[in-house]
Structure 1
Amino acid sequence: MRVAGERGVRVVDEAVMRSTRTSEDELARVEEIERVELDRRSRRYRGDRPRTELRGRTAVVVDDGVASGSTARAACLIARRLTDATHWVRTRDEARDLPVGFFGASNGAAAALWAAAEPDSPVGAVVSRGGRPDRAGLRLPAVTAPTLLIVGGNDDVVIGLNQQAQARLGCENRLAVIPGATHLFEEPGTLEEVASLAAQWFTGHLPPASHPAA
């Protein structure tokens, strides 16, 4: 949606702004928060050293996939589609009375939380697996559905990002850390533990499905 850099650098993806219906005021609030974080990281990484002059040098820029990039745009588009798909399902006679839960992994978790924050969202519970809930940004305080955040114990960066997101949630929530698991939960038994935790969360927070009398 937007990338902020030092010396006032600001790049905005207008297409993502339109697709997510993000207002200029919302964008400004996010930018203000991220400018503070940018300054903090600059002081931490550079210390008191002056900026390196880049004229006459070759700079190699690496996108680690954590901070920004096309995956963020994909998450925004998924959120819109998820919202539309959920409303469509609720119009179907066979699904109208069924409880709704969202399960998202990686950027899909941000999409699930973004969609769950819609005022008319019917979602009753959300589970994030190795997700990036922080990318739901200003939407997080608006989520009312009980939310479970599952992360791998060896996924240090994502643990921190989930802790930041959890602090912004006002709904019932829990952060579950699976010891020994990395980001994709490829270690033996870790995905089974994810499935068990998710099943317990959904069955504990979603009401039983109602069935019409025969």
Structure 2
Amino acid sequence: MPFTDRVDAGRRLAGRLRQLRGEDVVVLGLPRGGVPVAFEVATALDAPLDVIIVGKLGVPAQPDRPKRSPAMGAVGEGGVLVLNEPVIQQADVSDAQLAEIEGRARAEVDRRAHRFRHDRPPLPLAGRTVVLVDDGIATGASARAACQVVRAQGAARVVVAGPVCSPGSAAELENEVDELVCLEIGGRTGRVTDFYDDFRQVSDEEVVDLLRRAVREQPAEVSAAGDDEVEIPVGEVRLKGCLTVPEGAAGVVVFAHGSGSSRHSPRNTYVAGVLQQAGLATLLFDLLTTEEEPRRAKVFDVELLAGRLAEVTGWVRSRPEFAGLPVGYVGASTGAAAALWAAADSDADIAAVVSRGGRPDLAESRLGDVRAPTLLIVGGRDTKALTRNRRAETSMRCESRLVVIPGATHLFGEPGALEAAATAALAWFTEHLVPAAAPSG
């Protein structure tokens, strides 16, 4: 059953996916060839369209190593990092080598994301069904890496779809995805191009045009309140942020993201949305500038990050709409260390802190000075973080609680894990932040 071209293949593939119409679906095309196919699928399902940009981490070349070794992992937007620890150990890759390879991969992901979307943030995936679409799945390496990345971004269900898939890749993918949808499995040569009459190369410009058309034809993503892009002066730099203020907000929660992430972190965005719907204002901002992000020393300079968080908190309190409102912090990974460090200042006056998958050990010397009620949320399978957070809780003198999300790993990518973490955070702020907004009688 040859396809005339990618448009024809996309329309036929959409027919096999029509049962998804009406669900909370996001369609992601693997650039470049997968995007024309994904456009037709998204149109038929009346679903938003985006690209999934993945950077695979290749094993460093050595004479005694196969040229096509398995990847060490993959990086995605929003600071997502997925590692294949057995491959890293077997290849004896040092931390410095891994950091260098990761840095190059992230730079390429950022370059391609800007090329395809310009300044538009990626669509949020947390809690949604994600349909990954390519024009053909030969080795399956890109599709498998994309699956790992979208799960790390909180996707509730992952469907991989393609007009054609090789038998070997189909067998491997069926063990990694919730559903695999392919119109053709196999072929005499195993080459995707044999299934198309017209398989001409897709240009960057075509991808950009299809994404723009999809944005024009789809309704805007629904949010609890309008988002305002802001720039916050901090010392000699200006930090970009996203401020959301529901009507009658009872408090403000400032988010400090983890290493390698940004204000567009899909996990923090999801948690922020839960808080916004409950009437809390949120500020997600970049702790580092674009020029600073590649410098690992800056990423782990918790004192610098905490100082910036404190200055941003002062900026929040200076705004008239927040006069007298209590302020809380949500921190993830290194951002949690910065939040605890900042909350330990004698004049911080922070009403509550939530750490999600945090590194409180990086603020160990300050934990005894934190007075804000603190919730530590950790995944049950994130053993290193669990040990660190248990030790941190014993060092704290303020009211604190450790919540373990069963079956969750560091990024809370498992079905229901991020939702459980967000629910716990909301309950903590409802208990400790919202009462602080009530006038004393």
For normalisation by structure 1, the TM-score amounts to 0.65
The 1:210/1:128 distance shift into structure 2, 3 A limit, reads same
For structure 2, the 5+ residue unaligned runs are: 1-91, 100-295
The 1:90/1:190 distance shift into structure 2, 3 A limit, reads same
Mean CA deviation greater in 90-99 or 125-134: 90-99
d(CA) in 2 for partners of 1:144, 1:122 = 8
How far the C-alpha of 1:180 sits from its partner, in A, is 0.2
d(CA) in 2 for partners of 1:76, 1:190 = 30
Determine if the alignment matches structure 1 residue 62 to structure 2 residue 82: no
How far the C-alpha of 1:165 sits from its partner, in A, is 1.1
Report what 1:156 is aligned to: 383
**2:345 is aligned with what amino acid?**
E
**1:62 is aligned with what amino acid?**
D
1:100 maps to which of 324, 327, 331: 327
Query: Conserved in 2, the CA contact under 8 Å of 1:105 and 1:131?
Result: yes
Determine if the alignment matches structure 1 residue 137 to structure 2 residue 364: yes
Determine if the alignment matches structure 1 residue 209 to structure 2 residue 437: yes
How far the C-alpha of 1:90 sits from its partner, in A, is 1.5
Determine if the alignment matches structure 1 residue 200 to structure 2 residue 427: yes
Structure number with higher strand proportion: 2
How far the C-alpha of 1:76 sits from its partner, in A, is 2.9
> Which of these two proteins has the greater Rg computed from alpha carbons?
2
Q: Secondary structure of the equivalent of 1:123?
A: coil
For structure 1, the 5+ residue unaligned runs are: 1-58
Q: Secondary structure of the equivalent of 1:114?
A: helix
d(CA) in 2 for partners of 1:168, 1:210 = 30
Report what 2:176 is aligned to: none
The 1:186/1:111 distance shift into structure 2, 3 A limit, reads same
Determine if the alignment matches structure 1 residue 174 to structure 2 residue 405: no
Report what 1:11 is aligned to: none
Query: Conserved in 2, the CA contact under 8 Å of 1:148 and 1:176?
Result: yes
Query: Conserved in 1, the CA contact under 8 Å of 2:377 and 2:404?
Result: yes
d(CA) in 1 for partners of 2:360, 2:420 = 20
d(CA) in 1 for partners of 2:411, 2:386 = 13
d(CA) in 2 for partners of 1:210, 1:148 = 21
d(CA) in 2 for partners of 1:78, 1:140 = 16
The 1:81/1:172 distance shift into structure 2, 3 A limit, reads same
Determine if the alignment matches structure 1 residue 72 to structure 2 residue 288: no
Runs of 4 or more consecutive aligned structure 1 residues displaced over 6 Å after TM superposition? none
d(CA) in 1 for partners of 2:349, 2:369 = 13
d(CA) in 2 for partners of 1:155, 1:119 = 32
Report what 1:14 is aligned to: none
Structure number with higher helix proportion: 1
How far the C-alpha of 1:91 sits from its partner, in A, is 2.1
Residue deviations 1:32-52 (CA, integer Å, cap 9, x gap): xxxxxxxxxxxxxxxxxxxxx
d(CA) in 1 for partners of 2:387, 2:361 = 10
Query: Conserved in 2, the CA contact under 8 Å of 1:108 and 1:131?
Result: yes
Query: Conserved in 2, the CA contact under 8 Å of 1:101 and 1:123?
Result: yes
Report what 1:5 is aligned to: none
d(CA) in 2 for partners of 1:104, 1:201 = 14
Report what 1:54 is aligned to: none
Report what 2:292 is aligned to: none
Determine if the alignment matches structure 1 residue 89 to structure 2 residue 122: no
For normalisation by structure 2, the TM-score amounts to 0.32
Residue deviations 1:42-76 (CA, integer Å, cap 9, x gap): xxxxxxxxxxxxxxxxx9743699xxx63322x33
Query: Conserved in 1, the CA contact under 8 Å of 2:351 and 2:373?
Result: yes
d(CA) in 2 for partners of 1:127, 1:181 = 17
Q: Give the count of matched residue pairs.
A: 149
